[in-house]
Amino acid sequence: MSASTSHASWPAARAARPVGGWRFGVVAGDGVEWTLKRNCSITPAQLLAAYAGLCVLSLGVAGFFWMQGARLVMPFAWCELLAVAMALLAFARHAGDRERIALGGGRLLIETTDGGRVERIEFAQDTVRVETGRDERSLIDLTSRGERIAVGRHVRPELRPWLAAELRDALREQPRGATV
């Protein structure tokens, strides 16, 4: 097991851009695109296999005790497996959550997916303001002409200032006529 910490005096918001491009974004055509998504460590097939194994084990143990005369073990095993299935479905519903930010053609397109609900908003590139909150755990606000959207929920809080700086740099540097 390993752990890492960040020292308070380290620069939080500005660092040199990595050689060859962006830290979070990628060059897509004539624009830049950021895809921020959850870090899912298990695939749906692996999750299904783990749940099937849990079902076999739990029902096997419950069946053994049921054969020994403990008749109430089986209903509790089914309730347990139903509760685990509901929790896994809630997990699966949000496993595909993501934020996609695309800059090009003088437009900034933000698309957020949360539990199957998709929200899209488009801003003119020259009117976008990137604002970070005072709290280190706050999200990045993108505002333009009275409209606002918060991004960065799938980025670790200590990296959000880096993402905000990268968005500011891209908005300043990206040609207005390029297309995404």
Global pTM value: 0.69
Q: Given this model, what pLDDT does residue 7 score? A: 42
Question: Where in the sequence is the domain holding 150, given as residue range(s)?
Answer: 26-38+96-173
Residues 48 and 33 in one domain: no
Residues 111 and 166 in one domain: yes
Give percent of the chain above pLDDT 90. Answer: 43
**CB of 180 closer than 8 Å to CB of 107:** yes
Give percent of the chain above pLDDT 70. Answer: 84
- Tell me: the pLDDT tens digits for 83-121? 999 999 888 888 888 999 999 888 999 999 988 899 999
Residues 68 and 152 in one domain: no
User: Could you tell me the CA-to-CA distances from 55 to 42, 59, 77, 115, 131 in Å, in that order?
Assistant: 18, 6, 9, 26, 48
**CB of 85 closer than 8 Å to CB of 78:** no
